[in-house]
Amino acid sequence: NWTTTNVVEEQVALIREQVGDKRAICGLSGGVDSAVAAALVQKAIGSQLTCVYVDHGLMRKGETEQVEKDFVAATGAKLKVVDAEKRFLDALAGVSDPEEKRKIIGREFIRVFEQAQLEILQEEGPEVAFLVQGTLYPDVVESGGGTGTANIKSHHNVGGLPDDIEFQLVEPLRQLFKDEVRMVGQELGLPEEIVQRQPFPGPGLGIRIVGEVTKDRLDLLRDADAIAREELTAAGLDRDIWQCPVVLLADVRSVGVQGDGRTYGHPIVLRPVSSEDAMTADWSRLPYDTLAKISTRITNEVADVNRVVLDVTSKPPGTIEWE
């Protein structure tokens, strides 16, 4: 019979058997799947696991701290944090095209993660043979079911390593659906904010700034996004909406009036959607009072924002994200 306790016990035994006395690496994204996969593997093999978190500087307010502090406190996992903000911002400088941004972020992410893997290999030696991934059942079905290996190329100039390193994959969530993963995460004692986290795209806030991504714009968007999330949570709406992207129209300005004078600021877009699987979505009919509160707070508290607009487009024709 299916209980989270059984799933945890079974997976812990399987992971121990698979990894033996070797070592494993797990990349944390801030999302539910990688956190639960890491927590399971940590329970199974403890300090034989090293987690890696690449801080690309595109996360929402508090999310990096959530990984650094709350995840580590809940699991006791060994964590390597790579501060790559400058590298990502440099690579994104001058780029406005959404696909270009995605490509750059994806490419830099792989490079930084591979570099971190190599450093861990150098520190801990060839015992590091496994890579943990938070693959879920729907991903397995979609990709045809194979389990596999992952390669990294040691093109960086580090001595004593083979040219091509192959990791065996550890995928402890392969039989689980998302809601089951959340239950397992809860059973493992992960914080509610991680376990119940709504979907958030890998490229992060980089694809929620329409226009060039800069540090100032990211900080501004982080503030606006934090206010929207706070108010949605306070209104008890987290379970009603699938996710609510908050988007900065950095290339758009409009005239406003605040205090004593005229302003010429940027609009923030709220994009609350309801959905079953993100393939289709409808815009959420949020209570006007909640929308009013978010709007008032954002325009009062976030400098350079003088307008908050609501996206009332379903998917299709609109996607959930703006880029």
Nearest one of 9, 34, 3 to 190, comparing CA atoms: 34
Q: Is 39 annotated as a binding residue?
A: no
In this structure, what token pair is assigned to residue 231? 């108010």
Stretch that binds ligand XMP, among 4-12, 41-49, 146-154, 197-205 (CB under 6 A): 197-205
CA dist 58 and 81 (Å) reads 15
In this structure, what token pair is assigned to residue 282? 């409808």
- Report residue 213 CA to chain centroid gap: 18
* Contact between 202 and ligand XMP per CB under 6 A: yes
CA dist 22 and 25 (Å) reads 11
* Contact between 272 and ligand XMP per CB under 6 A: no
- CB of 203 closer than 8 Å to CB of 58: yes
**Cβ neighbours for 302, distance < 8 A, ≥ 6 positions apart:** 220, 223, 224, 227, 268
Stretch that binds ligand XMP, among 61-69, 111-119, 130-138, 194-202 (CB under 6 A): 194-202
Q: Is 143 annotated as a binding residue?
A: no
* Contact between 278 and ligand XMP per CB under 6 A: yes
* Contact between 27 and ligand XMP per CB under 6 A: no
- Report residue 147 CA to chain centroid gap: 23
* Contact between 138 and ligand XMP per CB under 6 A: no
In terms of phi and psi (left: phi > 0; alpha: psi -120 to 50; beta: otherwise), the region of 80 is: beta
Interaction with ligand XMP in 223-252: which residues (CB under 6 A)? 243
Q: How far is the CB of 207 from ligand XMP (least distance, A)?
A: 7
Stretch that binds ligand XMP, among 2-10, 125-133, 134-142, 199-207 (CB under 6 A): 199-207
Q: How far is the CB of 19 from ligand XMP (least distance, A)?
A: 27
Q: How far is the CB of 200 from ligand XMP (least distance, A)?
A: 6
* Contact between 320 and ligand XMP per CB under 6 A: yes
Q: Report in angstroms the alpha-carbon separations of 68 from 30, 35, 115, 173, 191.
A: 10, 12, 19, 23, 13
Measured in Å, how far apart are the chain's first and last C-alpha atoms? 43
* Contact between 201 and ligand XMP per CB under 6 A: yes
At 137, is the secondary structure helix, strand, or coil?
helix
At 255, is the secondary structure helix, strand, or coil?
strand
Q: Is 269 annotated as a binding residue?
A: no
Stretch that binds ligand XMP, among 47-55, 77-85, 149-157, 195-203 (CB under 6 A): 195-203
Comparing CB distances to ligand XMP, the nearer of 134 and 265 is 134
Q: How far is the CB of 51 from ligand XMP (least distance, A)?
A: 18
Q: How far is the CB of 170 from ligand XMP (least distance, A)?
A: 20
Q: Is 35 annotated as a binding residue?
A: yes
| Residue count, binding to ligand XMP (CB under 6 A) | 11
**Could you say which DSSP state residue 243 is in?**
B
- Report residue 280 CA to chain centroid gap: 21
Binding site for ligand XMP (CB under 6 A): 102, 199, 201-203, 243, 278, 315, 319-321
Q: Which residues are annotated as a binding site?
A: 29-35
Q: Which residues are annotated as a binding site for ATP?
A: 29-35
